[in-house]
Amino acid sequence: MLPLTHELGLRGAEALSRAFGVDLTGKVQIDRSQKADLQCAAAMQLAKSLKQPPRALAEVLVKALAEHPAVRSTDIAGPGFVNVHLADGWLKDNVGQALSLRQIGVGQTVVIDYSSPNVAKPMHIAHIRSTIIGDAIKRVLRAVGYTVIADNHLGDWGTQFGKLIVAHRKWLDESAFAHSPVQELLRLYIMFTEQEKAQKIAIGKKVDGDADEDDDDAPPLLQEARAELVKLQQGDKENVALWKTFIDVSMREFERVYSRLDVSFDVVLGESFYNDKLANTVQLLLDKGLAEESEGAIVVRFDKARDGEAMAPLIVQKKDGGFLYGTTDIAGMLYRVEHWRASRVIIVTDDRQQLHFRQFFAACRQLGVRTSMEHVFFGLMRLAEGTISTREGNLIGLEALLDEAERRAAVVARECNSELTDSEVLEVGRVVGIGAVKYNDLSKDRTTLVTFTWDKALSLTGNTAPYLQYAYARIQSLMKKAAAAGVVPGALVSFEPTERVLVMTLLAFDDVVEQVALTSRPHALCEYLFELAAQFSTFWSELSVLKAEPEVRPGRLRLAQLTGDVLSSGLDLLGIGVLERM
C-alpha cells in the first residue's frame, strides 16, 4: 500500500500547494481508516497555518484524490476528514504487490549490536530479549536493502577475570569442567563471591558496600584477584591462556544456543577487541579538550547547552590508570563509524543502561560522530521470586527454557494431529516451541519490568507464533489439495467483504515492514501478522475455496496463497519458522 498512500499524499500536497500558493510537499499524510479505506486529516492540520477553513482545504483534497485510478470515491466528513474509498477493481488487480518491499536502505550500512552475553556465565532467560529483538531488527533492515553488520559485543574483558583466575586455581573441579565448563565457571564465580564475603565479615568490613575502596584492607582474595587481573592485562602467558580457555568454552555454549534460535552474527568483536584502542581514545578526548582530570580520574563532562541535557560525568579512565566500559564503548563507536562506515548504529540492551548510553552517545557527538546512534532498550526480566542474579545463582537457563518450550509444543502437536510421525512431532515441537518463545518477546514493546512465568512464555494459543504458523500450515494443506484437483491461483473474481478486508491488509505489509525498519520496533510486525492471520481465519471459516463455484476458485486460492506468502516472509523477518504440517 505504501506506493499508493505515498502517491496520494503527493497528489494531495501538490493540489493544496497550487491552490494556496505555498509549498506543502510532505505535509499531507494518508492513513488507513475504520470509516473508509483511507483517510486524510490534513485539511484540519493545515487550516490554521493557511488561514483557511478546513472545509475549503478538504474540497481541494477531495477533488485531487478522486482523480487517482485507485480511488472510487471521496467524501468529506465531520470537521474536515477526507475519506477515500478505493476501487475494487484496482485492489483486485494490485494485490500481487503485497510482497514487494521498498528498498529504503540501499547504500547505507547499519551496525547492530545485540545479545552480547558475558563470557564464563551461562546464558539465561534475561539474555533472550536482546538476542531475539536484535536478530529480528537485523533481518528487517536487510529486507529493505541496508547493508547490515550484526555484531556480538561479547563481555570478554573486565575485573571478573581476575576473580575467575584465582577461583580456577584454587577450587577447580576438573571433571565438572570437562563435562559442562560454563556451569563449572559459574560455580567458581559464586564460590569466589561467597568466600570474599566471608573474608570481609572476618575482617569486620561491611558486606554490602561493594565500593571496593582502594585498598590494603581489602579481603586477601580480592587483592589476589586484582593482582591476577594486572598480570592478565600485562600479557602474562598463563593467565592469557586461561582467559582464552574461558572464552572458547563459553563461545561453544553460546553457539549451541544461537544455532537453536537460528540467530547469527557477522562479527564477534568483544570488549577485548578494543583494548589496544582505549589509551588512544582517552588521549583523543584530552587532545580535543573534551575530557579533563578530576579527583585523579579522567572524565567527560556534559552540559545542557552543548549536549542537550546536564548529565553526570562519564569516567573514561580510573585513577589507577584502568579503563572502563564507557571507554570501550566510545572506542567501539569510533571503530564502527570509521571501519564500517556505518550511517546507523543500533545497540540492543535492557533499560538500566539508558543513562550510560546517553552519556556515551553525547561524548561521541562531541567527537564529531554524525552517525545516527540508537539505543533500543527493553524492560528487565525477573522471576516472581526476585531479580535474576548470577551471584545468587537463581537462573533459569536459556537452554532449559528452550527444552521446555519444545517439549510442550510437541505434546500439543501429538494431541492435535494424529497424522504426524514421531520425527514430525519432534520437528513441530522445535519450530513451534522456539517460535512461541521468540514471539512472546517480540510481540511486546513494553519497557517495564517483565516477570517471567512458564505459562506466559510458552503459551500456544491466542496471539502467539503458533497461531500464525497454524494459519500458514492450513494454507499449505489447501494448496496441496488444490494442486491435486488441478486448481491454480488466478485472478480475483468474487470480492466478499471478508476478501476485501484481507486484500487491504495484505497490501499494508510493506508499510509495516518499513515502519519497523525505521523505528526498530518489531512488535508492530507481530501485531500486523496476527491481524492478517485472524482475518484469514475468518475467511477460511466463512468462504469455501475448492468447494466454491468454479469461476471464483482461482481467485480465492490466490488470496490464500498470498496470505501464506506474507505470513511466511513476515515470520521469517522475525526469525520464526513455518511448517507445511503441524
- Residues 218-257 contacting RNA, CB under 7 A: none
H/E stretch holding 344 reads strand 344-350
Task: Restricting to residues 267-296, name those near RNA by CB under 7 A.
Answer: 271, 294-296
According to the binding rule CB under 7 A, does residue 8 interact with RNA? no
Task: Restricting to residues 74-113, name those near RNA by CB under 7 A.
Answer: 77-79, 81, 83
Nearer to RNA among residue 83 and residue 281 (C-beta): 83
Of 201, 264, 448, 454, the one binding RNA (CB under 7 A) is 448
Angle CA 242–243–247, to nearest 5: 115
Task: Provide the strand spans (E) within 184-326.
Answer: 291-294, 297-300, 314-317
Choose one: 72-80, 90-98, 183-191, 195-203; the region binding RNA (CB under 7 A).
Answer: 72-80
H/E stretch holding 375 reads strand 372-378
Q: How far is CA 40 from each of CA 285, 391, 464, 500, 517, rounded to the nearest angstrom? A: 50, 56, 33, 21, 24
According to the binding rule CB under 7 A, does residue 44 interact with RNA? yes
Choose one: 90-98, 189-197, 256-264, 532-540; the region binding RNA (CB under 7 A).
Answer: 532-540
Choose one: 254-262, 331-339, 390-398, 461-469; the region binding RNA (CB under 7 A).
Answer: 461-469
Choose one: 97-105, 129-137, 282-290, 409-417; the region binding RNA (CB under 7 A).
Answer: 409-417
Closest C-alpha among 115, 121, 123 to residue 158: 121
Task: Provide the strand spans (E) within 426-555.
Answer: 450-452
Q: How far is the CB of 338 from RNA (least distance, A)?
A: 22
According to the binding rule CB under 7 A, does residue 563 interact with RNA? no
DSSP state of 496: -
Q: How far is the CB of 450 from RNA (least distance, A)?
A: 6
Task: Restricting to residues 310-329, name those near RNA by CB under 7 A.
Answer: 312-313, 315, 318-320, 322, 324-325, 328
Task: Restricting to residues 294-313, name those near RNA by CB under 7 A.
Answer: 294-297, 299, 312-313
Upper half-sphere CA count for residue 189 (Cβ side, 13 Å): 21
3-state secondary structure of 326: helix
DSSP state of 323: B
Rounded Cα–Cα distance for residues 512 and 518 (Å)? 10
Estimate the crossing angle of helix 422-442 against helix 523-542, to 10 degrees: 130
According to the binding rule CB under 7 A, does residue 356 interact with RNA? yes
Q: How far is the CB of 469 from RNA (least distance, A)?
A: 8
Residue 110 contacts residue 141 (beta carbons within 8 Å): yes
Q: How far is the CB of 269 from RNA (least distance, A)?
A: 13
Of 25, 354, 372, 389, the one binding RNA (CB under 7 A) is 354
Nearer to RNA among residue 147 and residue 417 (C-beta): 417
Residue 157, phi then psi, degrees to nearest 5: -150, 155
Choose one: 257-265, 282-290, 477-485, 488-496; the region binding RNA (CB under 7 A).
Answer: 477-485
According to the binding rule CB under 7 A, does residue 118 interact with RNA? yes
Nearer to RNA among residue 184 and residue 441 (C-beta): 441
DSSP state of 215: S
Site residue total, RNA (CB under 7 A)? 97
490's grid cell: 488466478
Rounded Cα–Cα distance for residues 39 and 17 (Å)? 19
Taking residues 412 to 431 in sequence order and writing x for each that binds RNA by CB under 7 A, - otherwise, the string is xx--xx----------x---
DSSP state of 311: -
Closest C-alpha among 105, 208, 117 to residue 398: 117
Rounded Cα–Cα distance for residues 369 and 378 (Å)? 25
Nearer to RNA among residue 259 and residue 544 (C-beta): 544
Of 463, 500, 501, 572, the one binding RNA (CB under 7 A) is 463
Taking residues 511 to 530 in sequence order and writing x for each that binds RNA by CB under 7 A, - otherwise, the string is ----x-----x-xx--x--x
Task: Restricting to residues 161-200, name those near RNA by CB under 7 A.
Answer: none
Q: How far is the CB of 356 from RNA (least distance, A)?
A: 5
Q: How far is the CB of 178 from RNA (least distance, A)?
A: 28
Q: Give Cα 572 to chain centroid, integer Å.
A: 13
According to the binding rule CB under 7 A, does residue 73 interact with RNA? no
3-state secondary structure of 176: helix
Q: How far is the CB of 578 from RNA (least distance, A)?
A: 11
According to the binding rule CB under 7 A, does residue 387 interact with RNA? yes
What does DSSP say about strands 381-383 and 386-387: parallel, antiparallel, or unpaired?
antiparallel
Upper half-sphere CA count for residue 422 (Cβ side, 13 Å): 0
